[in-house]
Structure 1
Amino acid sequence: MKIKFNLFYILFVAIAAFTSCNSINQISSHENDIAVSPRVTENFGNDWQFQRLTGSALEGSNWEIVNIPHTVRIEPLVVNDQWQGTSVYRKSFPVELLGDKKWFFHFEGVMQEARVSVNDSLVTTHKGGYLPFTVDATPFLKEGQENIIEVEVINLDDTTIPPGKTLDMLDFNLYGGIYRNVHLIKTNPVYITDAVHADEVNGGGILVHFDKANEQYATGFVQTHIKNESDVRQLVSVRLTFSDRTGEKFRFFSRDVFIAAGDDVSVTEEVVIENPFLWSTYNPDLYNLNVEIISDGLVIDSRQLRTGIRDIRLTEDAFYLNGEKFFVNGTNRHQEYPYVGYAISDEAQYRDAYKIKQAGFDFVRLSHYPHATAFLEACDELGLLVMNAIPGWQYYEEGEFVENAIQDIKDMVRRDRNHPSVVFWENSLNESEMTEEFMIRANKVLKAELPYDDTYSAGWIDHFSYDLFIPARQHAKPPQYWNDYDEEGMPILIAEYGDWEYYAQNAGFNQTAYSDLKEEERSSRQLRSAGEIGMLQQALNYQEAFNSNLRGEQTIGHSNWLMFDYNRGYANDLEASGIADIFRIPKFAFYFYKSQKAPYTDEFSVPMVFIANYWTPKSTTNVKVFSNTEEVALYLNGELVERKKPEINQISEELPFPPFEFDLESFQAGELRAVGYINGEEVASYKVRTPGKPSQLDLAMDHSGRSLSEETPDVVFVYAIIRDEKGTVVPNAKNLIEFSLTEGAENAELIGGEAVNAEAGIATVLLRTESHTERIVITASSEELGETEIIIEP
């Protein structure tokens, strides 16, 4: 028997008071409730035994000891023969006294089929590599001895598991392993469920939703799903505590609820927050929510989460955030790192989100699958809107594949529904020939899970069942693309632009001007090693497409393709249309996008100028400067070249901040300096120098808002930068750089080769640490450039 309780506050907006016994900030007798061994959540990622299978047998008797996150094999930089097969993870753990405790193992992501056994008993089989699952190990545990959990991980082509397409035809890679966190969770027999594990429509776990939100008040509810696996009927109540950034607390209490033995209930408590801090991209305020289950005056379970209060609204031609019209400017992201594939830390997830925000974006589309919870938490914290997406790419098959795709919708929503950053749900199989029946069913499932006015579905086909149409720019014809789209009531977000239409050379207003370029120079797919011509072309392509997209009357936003370079299952090269390379080093286009963010709108948006030129004898003397200022002055060796306003033409007239162009008569070695002005005052400057010969090395580590994790595994980029005698990066340097760990090797390793050739003046390796409790010293050396080191203190 399922029972659902709706407990109402009598709310008067004018006086914002409660007439029931429940009240905001009211301290009651519940305040002195005693905690009794509530929930314990432990990282369960350390000291797993690991081995790959050869055929149907283990490779040998020697198990490798690994920590989670883990990838089944370290891959080369360009992945054209990704490992596929079956591997086994095994771990022993003690169970001294089980008592009446529940033991759960929570897996955030295993690629892509997992068969979990406890003490040789198969507990569950989970299909799908991008969403979590939970194992109830309690019935299989043995008290007073070591227990063993084993996970058989199958990462083979399987057309029943979305995205479904075989690896040799797929546009991204499916890196095997237990590549996201694993947690051991212990609870009392009466506990708050996990939303995905509970498998309840519009239920399970904790569900937070605000129906109305403005600066005066926010009204909504918190629904808590409680299960009673004890032998007796239980009388429980729920206590909710919202805490804002100032420390102010808003408390709500439910009435007592009986739960029969073996039964479960959902308790819905209505809440009101006075004068709320609203979550936005420029001020991403979050609330800590503590949910406690109380029985006989004791806290028997509790869970904590962070959420935000915001109001979103989608109309036929605009998106509104907290009542203000908001143009959604964003990018796409694949979650891949070089060498380790998907096996990256929570801190690395945050660093990616940080870089997206640094680039001037306020939105990210998750391509083409749900990304890690840690990435969404970073988006919540940093102020990035998110389009969540189920796994899919150019594949559709009736039967088990469809059923698994529908389950992906449910699991994605149940995992991510409390994130204020998630505003659109792409319950659409990207670029796949979905049937009308599937699209209608997918949207019914979404609306059943989230039956609220601000639940917005997104599909790449303009079907009536979707709330938002998300075509790629190349899905329409040039030169108008989607600007003349006139489907009544259907808003558009250009989900991808700037890559394929130029790669295929079927687009753009300036194609005739590109006729003297080599084929590879017309493309937006430019490695940093392509040099100025390639990176200027990429930036120009993005500029032209960005400007064109702004002409669409029903276009509420767009996301470029894409943020970071990545590998593809079918390709023998990197897909290089990222505005930063696979090592997260920016290209010129990164600064074009950064310049399109108005200064002073958030902590990431400051007045900026960037000279898209290395100023070498081979450089163009038509110097392009990206800036979000009103005027820019360019100086050559201290002499003013010109002070001017931005260049307005057919590929810049719609931009928030068109680039500046300066035509110099000839090249003169030395220094170019650009100065940006707002209201006549100097607010930003940037300079480049003609590079000399390589003469020195400089080592740097990429923090991007997060230091190395002290307790859990982490991965971070380390850059050896080649400079001339004046400190200028030498952009054509390809020197061979040797890396070594001279301290800390017992708890860290360098991945990517001991000797690495620099690309465009920078050689990169990946540092993986198991924990960062000891000092780490990394040395880089070159026969021509000598030696340098970086010291990383814990």
Structure 2
Amino acid sequence: MKRLIYTICLLVACLSTAGAKVLTEHKTRLTDNWLYLRGDIGNIWEAVRPASPGTSESVPLWTPVTLPHCFNATDAVDPDLNYYQGPGWYKTLLDINNPYPNGRILLDFEGAGQKTEVYIYTTLVATHTGGYDEWTADITEAVQAFAATPECAKRFGGKIPLSIRCNNSRDAEMIPSDLSDFNVYGGLYRYLNLVYVPEVSIERIQIDANPDKELKKGTLSVHAFFYNPADVRKATANIIIKDPSGKVILSEEKEVLPLGKAALLATTVRKPELWSDEHPQLYTCEVRLKHNNQEQKAVERFGFRRFEFIEKGPFMLNGSRLLLRGTHRHEDHAGVGAAMTESQMRQEMTLMKQMGVNFIRLGHYQQSGIILSLCDELGILVWEEIPWCRGGLGGERYQAQAKRMLESMIHTHYNHPAIIIWGLGNENDWPNDFPEFDKGKIRTFMKELHDLAHQLDDNRVTAIRRCDFCKDIVDVYSPSIWAGWYRGIFTDYKNASYHEMQQVKHFFHAEWGGDCHARRHAEDPFINLDKIEAGKGTDERAGDASLYGGSARASKDGDWSESYMVRLIDWHLKEQETMDWLTGSAYWPFKDFSTPVRPENPVPYVNQKGVVERDLTPKETYYVFQSYWTKKPMIHIYGHTWPVRWGKADEQKEILVYSNCPQVELLVNGVSQGMKKRNSQDYPAAGLHWKCRLQAGENTVIARSKGKEEVADTLRFVYETRTWGTPARLQTKVTSCGTDLSLVEVQIVDTQGIPCLNAKNFIEFGLTGNGKLIENQGTSIGSRKVQAYNGRAAIRVNKRNGESIVSVRCDIPQIKTTFISIK
């Protein structure tokens, strides 16, 4: 009977999880010594059963991996496949060494997609639905029970077998919708931590730091929430507050009842050092919880800042107007999918800040706490949202998940001063997951989310993007404005924005821009766009993202060149400088990302609107933003990935220079083209544009600033004056680019060998032999199938100390496949 009661209690404890990160110093990332199986197993016994002696009964085969790991690291951008959606298993052995007598053993998941089951040996200890929450599983009793068995010592050498099943199968009653314009990834794609805490511990700390209107003093309150399965009734808390320099400005000790929510501190800080985009000052709160001669140290950072969205007016931070200069981020990267390392995240966010960003919308789900901490450090304000994205509104399970994720997001990320907006949804006017699409029910649920957000955190505001019939519910609204891409022309932007601003109390413009195929350039970027109607609306409508049918639009009829996109962005940025009522905008997105709904894009299955490629290689558009948004002197001549320009021998060609310097001189082949002064309203390139005659063949262009800090940029390219004919064959070149790497380049040429510089045909690479194509990266030179950029395409090959034959095929039937030997 006692055994039955214990089993029931264990099962109940195992299936409960805490929806917050764990704050403790005894925390270890479990990155190594994992095995992975793509697919399912018959039962949990298959994950832990021993192989019969003298046999090879190790089927199915498991693959060694390190964490974080994503099911879809490569198949999300495989041009020939639908990405995998289904179960996958991970297993490892835990070496348990808890420093706390009677303490708890926890697994801290920073995120796992999308449904997760956790097993200790054959015992199910936790389940979770939601791929973007940070959550915790208590494995204490299960570990203790298995450690007491002979099997533990005999077969596993005292270690504890941990098995985890992740599942990203399609499920209409789970958010986000599979209609979303991003992959719903699977796997342990964020860090997993082994955590030890005492028998009573701090689960989370809630810090409220609010300066007064005069910014001369700030109120500071600290509350703690406890994890206390032992029902301890008395503990001591030592609270230490440090200023941004690390100096202790307050230290208090008090007895606490560690049940539920406890007030630890309420005080006033005189002349607080304010957190801002340019000076992100961070204070530290350290709480030491003591009980029964055990101590847990929990540390959180926070900041004092005051913000306000003025009704039909600008955004204010710490009493001054701040134009929010923003972008968006998807958790997605070449070669790893969602499984980005902390180093990769820091590289991405630093590159973003160096572009001049002071705001980011995390689309369309809550993201790693590492990203939020980097935003705190770098001074990037944040709109973070739950993944209620497209498809309509599901039933009770669906709605419960959305509310649970909103609560988890706010609880987990409450203390980050960077966050100013809780996002409740995206494109919730998009139907088709369910037979019913009831706007009234969507409004009701949106109001429930709005009220819940303010109940949990009334110091921040709520927002949604693109759901006009709910725009009166949230605090901040962003309509759909895609001037010059999905509808209209980009000169419509200012009027369209002003009109939309008048419809709501607080306006923000999230998502604008358009796709550009990296390395594709155009002498006339507006070709085929003359039929687009101006002044007929700028919103994205059903079918606008399609490459076929419908009204004329740049997304369908344009050339997807970097040449067009720099002009579109340039226009938006120069207009934003004159819109004194504008809170801000966020360009969509910072980085190209994979998507299942765009298989026919120039890089298949990639949304190519980023200002950097999926591996963080900057496109030309990156430097346009820098020229408007940064203070450190910079200069960049347009066209660093444009090796061959073309035109008539006596034709004047436009040269654009993007710079934030007051004056720039241009030299073409050693001859000065004159000095020009920067003027943001002198479009394009803020006045730094020249019409120049180029010489046939090689040209060298130098741009240099004049002033206190001189910077310069040099560009070399070929000017082609010959007229090419019909594409006839492929011309290839192999270049060594490292000890064991080669770059294979191909150019489509006519019968005379003249490059066809406007060719956009698909090129497909193949390989047989020892080597391996560096493919499925979702980049312009990292896909085995890619649309040509000015008749060119390229891919890298890892030779792997052997010989290979690379095939290059074009989708023009009369052009023969070319074969290249690589040694």
- With the length of structure 1 as denominator, give the TM-score of the two structures: 0.74
381-390 or 219-228, which deviates more: 219-228
Aligned position for 2:480: 472
Aligned position for 1:307: 302
Deviation (angstroms), 1:639: 1.1
Is the CA contact (8 Å cut-off) linking 2:280 and 2:376 kept in structure 1? yes
> Is 1:645 paired with 2:677?
yes
Structure 2: how far apart are the matches of 1:686 and 1:401? 54
- Post-superposition CA distance 1:540-574 (Å, at most 9, x none): 12223444556656431111122111221122122
Aligned position for 1:318: 314
- Post-superposition CA distance 1:455-490 (Å, at most 9, x none): 454454453331111122139977332222354761
Structure 2: how far apart are the matches of 1:337 and 1:96? 35
Aligned position for 1:185: 195
Q: Extract unaligned runs of 5+ from structure 1.
A: 1-37, 194-204, 503-509, 600-604, 701-717, 723-730, 743-748, 768-776, 789-794
Is the CA contact (8 Å cut-off) linking 2:31 and 2:67 kept in structure 1? yes
- Post-superposition CA distance 1:375-431 (Å, at most 9, x none): 222222222121111113322224221221121111111121111221211112434
Aligned position for 1:588: 620
Structure 2: how far apart are the matches of 1:633 and 1:577? 31
Aligned-pair RMSD on alpha carbons?
4.4
Structure 2: how far apart are the matches of 1:474 and 1:225? 44
Cα distance change on mapping 1:276 and 1:765 into 2, 3 Å: farther
- Structure 2 residue identity aligned to 1:346: E
> Is 1:86 paired with 2:94?
no
Is the CA contact (8 Å cut-off) linking 2:775 and 2:782 kept in structure 1? no
Is the CA contact (8 Å cut-off) linking 1:106 and 1:185 kept in structure 2? yes
Instruction: Select the residue among 636, 640, 647 that pairs with 2:668.
Output: 636
Cα distance change on mapping 1:732 and 1:215 into 2, 3 Å: farther
Aligned position for 1:149: 162
- Structure 2 residue identity aligned to 1:497: W
Structure 1: how far apart are the matches of 2:411 and 2:301? 15
Aligned position for 2:688: 660
Aligned position for 2:724: none
- Post-superposition CA distance 1:323-369 (Å, at most 9, x none): 22000111122111123211111111111111211222221111111
Deviation (angstroms), 1:54: 5.1
Structure 2: how far apart are the matches of 1:719 and 1:344? 26
Is the CA contact (8 Å cut-off) linking 1:225 and 1:267 kept in structure 2? no
Structure 1: how far apart are the matches of 2:323 and 2:238? 40
Instruction: Select the residue among 22, 26, 29 that pairs with 1:40.
Output: 26
Is the CA contact (8 Å cut-off) linking 1:696 and 1:786 kept in structure 2? no
Aligned position for 1:556: 583
Aligned position for 2:405: 408
Q: Which residues of 2 match residues 481-630 of structure 1 at below 5 A?
A: 481-485=496-500, 487=502, 490-499=505-514, 514-515=529-530, 523=554, 534-548=561-575, 554-572=581-599, 573=604, 574-599=606-631, 605-612=632-639, 614=642, 616-618=644-646, 621-630=653-662
Deviation (angstroms), 1:622: 0.8
Is the CA contact (8 Å cut-off) linking 1:739 and 1:755 kept in structure 2? no
329-338 or 661-670, which deviates more: 661-670
266-275 or 152-161, which deviates more: 266-275
Deviation (angstroms), 1:41: 0.9
Is the CA contact (8 Å cut-off) linking 1:482 and 1:552 kept in structure 2? no
- Post-superposition CA distance 1:217-239 (Å, at most 9, x none): 43221111134333653242332
Structure 2: how far apart are the matches of 1:615 and 1:64? 43
1:592 alignment partner, SS class:
helix
> Is 1:382 paired with 2:375?
no
Cα distance change on mapping 1:486 and 1:283 into 2, 3 Å: closer
Aligned position for 1:136: 138
Aligned position for 1:674: 703
> Is 1:689 paired with 2:722?
no
- Structure 1 residue identity aligned to 2:252: F
Deviation (angstroms), 1:637: 1.7
Deviation (angstroms), 1:697: 4.7
Cα distance change on mapping 1:477 and 1:113 into 2, 3 Å: same
Aligned position for 2:275: 279
2:505 alignment partner, SS class:
coil
Aligned position for 1:422: 419
Deviation (angstroms), 1:119: 3.3
Structure 2: how far apart are the matches of 1:78 and 1:577? 19
Cα distance change on mapping 1:333 and 1:763 into 2, 3 Å: farther
481-490 or 328-337, which deviates more: 481-490
Deviation (angstroms), 1:295: 4.1
Is the CA contact (8 Å cut-off) linking 1:39 and 1:302 kept in structure 2? yes
687-696 or 578-587, which deviates more: 687-696
> Is 1:436 paired with 2:449?
no
> Is 1:218 paired with 2:250?
no
Is the CA contact (8 Å cut-off) linking 1:591 and 1:610 kept in structure 2? no
Deviation (angstroms), 1:664: 1.0
Is the CA contact (8 Å cut-off) linking 1:243 and 1:289 kept in structure 2? no
Aligned position for 1:746: none
Aligned position for 1:28: none
Structure 2: how far apart are the matches of 1:236 and 1:88? 42
- Structure 2 residue identity aligned to 1:135: A
Is the CA contact (8 Å cut-off) linking 2:529 and 2:554 kept in structure 1? no
Deviation (angstroms), 1:766: 12
Structure 2: how far apart are the matches of 1:686 and 1:254? 59
Deviation (angstroms), 1:179: 0.7
Is the CA contact (8 Å cut-off) linking 2:354 and 2:626 kept in structure 1? yes
> Is 1:350 paired with 2:349?
no
- Structure 1 residue identity aligned to 2:208: H
Cα distance change on mapping 1:736 and 1:699 into 2, 3 Å: farther
1:236 alignment partner, SS class:
strand
- Structure 1 residue identity aligned to 2:587: N
Cα distance change on mapping 1:489 and 1:481 into 2, 3 Å: closer
Cα distance change on mapping 1:139 and 1:394 into 2, 3 Å: same
Is the CA contact (8 Å cut-off) linking 2:661 and 2:678 kept in structure 1? no
Structure 1: how far apart are the matches of 2:78 and 2:509? 29
- Post-superposition CA distance 1:684-719 (Å, at most 9, x none): 21110125998965559xxxxxxxxxxxxxxxxx99
1:641 alignment partner, SS class:
strand
Structure 2: how far apart are the matches of 1:188 and 1:377? 26
Structure 2: how far apart are the matches of 1:342 and 1:104? 24
Cα distance change on mapping 1:750 and 1:140 into 2, 3 Å: farther
Q: Extract unaligned runs of 5+ from structure 2.
A: 1-23, 47-57, 153-158, 431-438, 518-524, 533-546, 720-731, 746-756, 807-818
Structure 1: how far apart are the matches of 2:464 and 2:645? 49
Deviation (angstroms), 1:763: 6.6
Aligned position for 1:34: none
Aligned position for 2:182: 172
- Post-superposition CA distance 1:182-226 (Å, at most 9, x none): 111111111001xxxxxxxxxxx1111212167644322111113
Cα distance change on mapping 1:459 and 1:672 into 2, 3 Å: closer
Structure 2: how far apart are the matches of 1:304 and 1:779? 52
Aligned position for 1:33: none
- Structure 1 residue identity aligned to 2:508: L
Cα distance change on mapping 1:247 and 1:96 into 2, 3 Å: closer
Deviation (angstroms), 1:118: 2.4
Aligned residues: 672
1:125 alignment partner, SS class:
strand
Structure 2: how far apart are the matches of 1:72 and 1:439? 32
Deviation (angstroms), 1:106: 0.8
Cα distance change on mapping 1:489 and 1:616 into 2, 3 Å: closer
- Post-superposition CA distance 1:508-564 (Å, at most 9, x none): xx97983399x999846999xx8xx81111111222344455665643111112211
- With the length of structure 2 as denominator, give the TM-score of the two structures: 0.72
